[in-house]
Chains A and B, each alone.
Chain A
Amino acid sequence: MSKLIYRSKYGTISFSLERAVPLALVFLLVCLFVLFVLSLALGSYDLSLSHLWQALFAAPEGETSTTILWDLRLPRFLASLLVGMMLGLSGAILQGVTRNPLADPSLVGVSQGASLAVVALIVLWPSAPLHLRPIIGFAGALLAASLVQWIAAGKSSSASLRFILVGVGISATISACTNAILTYGQINHAAAALSWLAGSVHTASWGECLVLMFGLAVLSPCLVWAVRPLSGLRFGPELATGLGLHLKRDRSLLIALAVALAALAVSMTGPLGFIGLIAAQLVHRLLRVGTGSHLLLSALVGGVLVALADLVGRTALAPIQLPAGLISAAIGAPIFIALIFRNAGPKHL
């Protein structure tokens, strides 16, 4: 365990970091840097290093290379990074609150709520402006998650199992409604909705990146706050209460935080399945770290996964573009299964 201490005239702030954390942080940051460089350099439009350099620093106006770099590749990389970080954080918080390793944003109806809202918008009001999609998706995600919370909070708010079962039930009901709209909607509108449902960052713009950055910046203080209750919840509800946690209030706030993170991410890109589940689990199974480090590393792993998925999806079979949601599941699932087999001891199950 290494300790970083910052002393000023106002007081002292200390950070305790497990030995593995700085190494893991450096590794993930290097991965992100490599992905950043590859994301800018690779694509169907041939950009030589000199053109890339010129477009990056001189950005001559009207040049196609400038458009490719500044309007397509850069916002796409940034959006995939931010979305992955938010989903990773959301999954880590939900797994901590429910003490269930399979918890992810789809468990609380976030993905399904956003999907139903956006599909309904596309099919029932096809002339709606495109910028309404993330707003409606965000509202749908929040509504669905609130419904799950409200029903699950009924008699015994501490029961994680009840929360999970209600989440699964509500999510299934919402998915059925989405399928019904897709089945009975006009074929071209259903096609547009299906495209959104595949989960992709191909339409990412600077506007979306700014919204995501603003959202993450606003929620960051809440993430710092979340470390303490999440650490307490690791020991179970009884011990957490003994440690001075206000269990009902803190659980609700943590879930609200996870929902807000996931809702913002899903409303921008469509449902990117698996990231919320796998990012937190990868960190959990590879490193034994504290709650704060776990959140930070889950965010970075989520970012790496989505950025990698998007890069592979747009370049591997180009010009055929595979949605990041599909690739993230294809990359993540085997890694996840391998980890489960490697650490199949009872302490991890």
Chain B
Amino acid sequence: MKYLLIALALICSNSVVLADQTRLFVDGQGHEVRIPIKAKRIVSLRGEQFTAPLIELGAPIVGSTGLVQEAIHDGKPFIRGAHDLFHTTFEGSDIAFVGAPKQPDIEAIAALKPDLILVPDFASDSYDQLSAIAPSVVINIWSNSARERYRRIADAVGRLDRFQKLEATFDFRLARAKALTEKLLGDPSKISVAIAEVRGKRFRVYKNYGAMSYILKEMGFSRPDIIENIDGDRLDLSPEQVQAIDADFLVSSYADHFGQPPADLRANWDNLIPGWHLVLHAPRNNQHILIDREPMRALSFRSMEEILAIYLANIVTRDFKRLGE
């Protein structure tokens, strides 16, 4: 009993020490910040990119930015990505709403007494004010791969151990999926997949688009040249260039509760590019895959695994007609 109590005391004191100790962290913009080894009160300033992975990591979040849209969650603030993927709500959790991602309420953040603030690069103009409140680290979004970004977040909040466990599970599933792809389809680079959407008068193709593009790349599928050569994440094309995106499969995303249901998605294509489904190989052969955008956007192994399952079902394990056949 005595040894048990000593062991318990040691564990408790160790965790207290861990929480209070600090280390130096170099963030995405080169700031050298002294942060807690294991943060206990985290404020996240980006829902789908930070709050969602923090929830998956089991990190203690005290505040998050959110969005307010009349059609979603009865017009109450919701955490983009985390709401759709984990059904995390402000009311049902201990996470406080601290405003919109572009201009969070710095005083509301200060009132939460955070010990770490995660700042997306696009909102880093408030860095000086935020760092006066608590140690703040800027995480670059888009410029590094989804997994690398996730690793950085896990590292900043002191949850690399949990990240590595989730990563190992995902890698196991990915390896299985790749083996199955090779067995059924042969060289995956011979299969091309384009991610493209039409909204209003805008015809846009994506090189990087959350888990949708990340998993395609991990599985080894190729992209049409016009997408592969994009310098950046996306490119707006003229409707006349529609044939340049011809591929075995076409992937588009919908967001039903954002007022973009799947039916509208196809109607948008019809309106801007009449006859697109006859010109492009994928829709002509029922190889146009529609994916729910919001859960896919949430940076997490769960969304990656869900997308992996979608591609396995809709590309790898089904009969389809190859481009040029």
Contact = CB atoms under 8 A, between A and B. Distances in A.
Contacts of B233: 186-187
Interface of B: 29, 68, 97-100, 102-108, 110-111, 113, 120-129, 132-133, 141-143, 232-236
A321 B111 contact: no
A5 interface: no
Contact of B124 (A67, A130, A198, A320): A130
Interface in A172-195: 183-189, 191-192, 194-195
Interface string A61-101: 00010011001100000000000000000000000000000
A200 interface: yes
B108 A187 contact: no
B133 A320 contact: no
B121 A188 contact: yes
B105 A314 contact: yes
A231 B97 CA distance: 53
A345 to B, nearest CB: 42
A113 B233 CA distance: 27
Contact of A64 (B113, B120, B234): B113
A43 B107 contact: yes
Nearest to A189: B122
Interface of A: 43-46, 64, 67-68, 71-72, 126-127, 130, 133, 183-189, 191-192, 194-196, 198, 200, 202-203, 205, 314, 318-321, 323
B129 A45 contact: no
A67 B131 CA distance: 11
27 contacts: A67-B110, A72-B132, A126-B121, A130-B124, A184-B235, A186-B232, A187-B142, A188-B121, A188-B141, A192-B125, A194-B102, A195-B102, A195-B122, A195-B123, A195-B125, A198-B102, A202-B103, A202-B126, A202-B129, A203-B125, A203-B126, A203-B128, A314-B105, A319-B99, A319-B104, A320-B68, A321-B103
Contact of B133 (A67, A126, A127, A203): A67
10 closest Cβ contacts across the A-B interface?
A: A319-B105, A45-B107, A192-B122, A44-B107, A44-B108, A319-B99, A319-B108, A321-B103, A191-B122, A43-B107
Contacts of B142: 186-188
A191 B46 CA distance: 13
Contacts of A64: 110, 113, 133
A192 B98 contact: no
B124 A323 contact: no
A94 B220 CA distance: 61
A46 B107 CA distance: 9
Contacts of B104: 319, 321
A314 B155 CA distance: 33
B133 A191 contact: no
A45 B108 contact: yes
B129 A71 contact: yes
Most buried by B among A196, A314, A320: A320
A184 B108 CA distance: 34
A138 to B, nearest CB: 17
Nearest to A184: B236
A194 to B, nearest CB: 7
Given A72-B107, A192-B124, A200-B103, 12 more contacts: A44-B111, A67-B133, A126-B121, A186-B234, A188-B142, A198-B102, A203-B126, A318-B99, A319-B98, A320-B100, A321-B99, A321-B103
Contacts of A46: 111
Contacts of A127: 29
